[in-house]
Amino acid sequence: MRQTEGTKVLDNVQQNVLYLFDLADIFPGYKVLVNVLLFIVSLVDCNRENRVIAQNILTEAEVRVLLPLLENPTGCQQAVLQASYFCTSEFLLKSLLFSDANTNPQWNK
């Protein structure tokens, strides 16, 4: 089977399923842990030995909107939120979670 670019991204995501976002700018001492395959979001209290204090399962649409907000917690453009909702899952994960010189210009259009 021929491996496409999207398949490579999914393989990379499967190897790196969990992403930790620091909320220091808006919620000091806390981080959000996101499982991008199962859409599980956990709030981690860094002041208490990194304990998970809240956890929720989201829909894919909710995660699509949440990821750009976590990437830019103090100000995310509406156009980025709309793009994250309508682009493919592979493109969203690649553009937000993996630095790629080819994807970033497409994302910023």
- pLDDT tens digits, one per residue of 20-36: 899 888 889 999 999 98
3-state secondary structure of 72: coil
Q: Which pLDDT does position 100 carry in this prediction?
A: 53
Residue 41 reports pLDDT greater than 90:
yes
Cα–Cα distance between 84 and 88 in angstroms, integer? Answer: 8
For the chain, give the mean pLDDT: 78
Residue 48 reports pLDDT greater than 80:
yes
**pLDDT tens digit string along 77-99?**
888 888 888 888 888 888 877 65
For 46, list phi and psi in degrees, rounded to 5: -75, -15
Residue 49 reports pLDDT greater than 70:
yes
Residue 3 reports pLDDT greater than 50:
no
Number of other residues whose CB lies within 10 A of the CB of residue 1: 4
Cα–Cα distance between 73 and 60 in angstroms, integer? Answer: 19
Q: Tokens 């929720």 label which residue?
A: 56
Cα–Cα distance between 93 and 9 in angstroms, integer? Answer: 8
Question: Which tokens belong to 89?
Answer: 């899952």
* pTM of the predicted model as reported, rounded to 2 decimal places: 0.71
